[in-house]
Amino acid sequence: MGAGRRALITTAIAVVCAVTVLAAPATAFASPTPTPTPTPSTTASSTPVTNKDLEAVRAKLDDLYHDAAVATDAYNAAEEQAQKQSAQIVELAKKIVKGQEKLDELKDRAGAAARSQYRTGGLPDEAQLILSDNPQAFLDGAGRILQGQRATKGLIAELTRTQQDLKQYTADASTQWQQLEKNRQAKAAAKKEVTTRIAAAEKLESQLEKQEKERLAALEQQAALKAQTAWLDSGALKEISGKASAEGKAAVAYATAQLGKPYEWGAEGPKSYDCSGLTSQAWASAGDPIPRTSQEQWKQLPHVDVKDMRPGDLIIYFDDASHVAMYIGDGAIIHAPRPGRTVTIAGAGSMPILGVVRPDA
């Protein structure tokens, strides 16, 4: 394979970098790493694509898929918030309907009370007492009128409170609509970012021949094995002896049953998953719901030391908590890696570990 072929691969990397940088919004998720300068395609024609070239491709693919994972987390977070806000708007709408019905009823009652007072309120109380043929009956009636007046005041107060409640419900619903629209926009921006990064990665991979793809896969496996070996050599696994809880066993069983299913960003089963979709659904099936995204799982769930890790715990990866996997014991994890891959078992130390969280702490 000639230098022209190498130039094509190198140029593809540079073009993908340029495209993804230009396509990224002003608040980009992660900056692409520098890439090799394109090699002129007119050089000698017998040099094969080297491992160094493929390492550059692998590094760029890692960047692209990492950025896609970050954007996927942003998409999932916006989707989760939009669902919550939609539910809140529905509940507020129900309250507004009930409040309006109550307000109409109170207005009817207030009107009836006003009409009753008008009919009996022609003369002052003193005059009605003097002219009455039955003073005791008048006094009894006056007492009832006083009770009615008090009830009317209470009715008016309730009417005022109901009007204030309706006003607040309406304001809350308006606020939720605004937030819903913001999250829809955030979701659309994240979706564009995800699809842009994945398309760039696929374009880069499409420049490789079958044998080069096989060599690239081998390099990826070697890198993962090297990282896992280094993690094991650190003695981390020797200290890990925790036993799974009943809920942890159920979560592991669920995750294990998903082996071989494809990765799909934004998916949470049952046919496909992204990384946090798999872990959140596994724990939901165990009766212990957890946050939807890897970043929120890292923020909200209790942290435990790696040495105290037990099956069912979640390992959060990378400094930005952009990936999550489930520990299953013996230094292994189950996870949904990235687009083009399936739910699989891998080494717990095959990626940079940020920390460990425990859903059922």
Residue 351: Cβ-neighbour burial (10 angstroms; 0-12, 13-18, 19+): buried
CB 206: neighbour CB atoms within 10 A?
9
Could you give the angle at the alpha carbon of 261 between the alpha carbons of 304 and 214, nearest 5°?
Answer: 95
Helix count (H) and strand count (E) of the chain?
A: 9, 6
Residues 6+ apart with CB under 8 A from 60: 13, 16, 17, 32, 33, 35, 204
Catalytic residues: 275, 323, 335
What is the rounded end-to-end Cα distance, in angstroms, of the chain? 56
CB 214: neighbour CB atoms within 10 A?
11
Q: What DSSP designation does 263 have?
A: B
CA separation for the pair 176, 171 (Å, rounded): 9
CA separation for the pair 154, 18 (Å, rounded): 71
Q: Which is nearest to 349 in space by CA: 332, 336, 324? A: 332
Which residue(s) pair with 64 in the sheet? none
Check if the beta carbon of residue 60 is closer than 8 Å to that of residue 17. yes
Which pair of tokens denotes residue 260?
Answer: 């071989």
The number of C-alpha atoms within 13 Å of 106 and in the hemisphere containing its C-beta is 19
Chain Cα centroid distance, residue 249: 25
